[in-house]
Amino acid sequence: MSVQRQTKQLQAIQTAFETAGRPLSIDEIHELAGRDIESLGVRTVYRAVRRLQENGDVSIVNVPGGSDRYELASVAAEHHHHFHCTACDRFFDIHGCPGGLKKLLPKGFKLEHHELTLSGLCESCA
């Protein structure tokens, strides 16, 4: 069976996730990892992210409006939410959760998950 190779492209992509510490879009990954690997192809980013997802190392973050972001599965493992800066279009992790959502439900509805996205200006844009 096939063995996964540890390429420097994949390493750069993993490093990008770790140093960014926030959810990244495909383009952001391409940009950040591309600083290490010149001429990093977007095609490679798509493949790497897919593989990291399949390996359970990275989780997808569906955001309202914009394109999908990806974050380390270790981060996704603990319940949290996100902040979207409308100026720089970056997403950040928000720790904590308002809670008490069940009482907002119409009767008969069954709550399984929830997603909260705060938006405004991040520290560097404010």
Where along the sequence are the contacts to a copy of itself (CB under 8 A)?
62-65, 81, 83, 86, 92, 94-101, 103-123, 126
Residue with Cβ nearer a copy of itself (3 or 126): 126
SS3 16: helix
Please count the other Cβ atoms lying within 10 Å of the Cβ belonging to residue 45. Answer: 25
Residue with Cβ nearer DNA (67 or 99): 67
Binding-site member from 21, 55, 62, 67 for DNA (CB under 7 A): 67
Distance CA 95, CA 83 (A): 10
Distance CA 35, CA 47 (A): 18
Contact call for residues 49 and 29 (beta carbons, < 8 A): yes
Give me the least distance between CB of 66 and DNA, in Å please.
8
Residue with Cβ nearer DNA (26 or 75): 26
Name the strand (E) or helix (H) holding 85.
Answer: strand 80-85
- Segment 21-60, which members bind DNA (CB under 7 A)? 26, 37, 39-44, 46-48, 50
* Structure-token pair, residue 102: 């069940």
Where do contacts with DNA occur on this chain (CB under 7 A)? Answer: 2-10, 26, 37, 39-44, 46-48, 50, 67-68
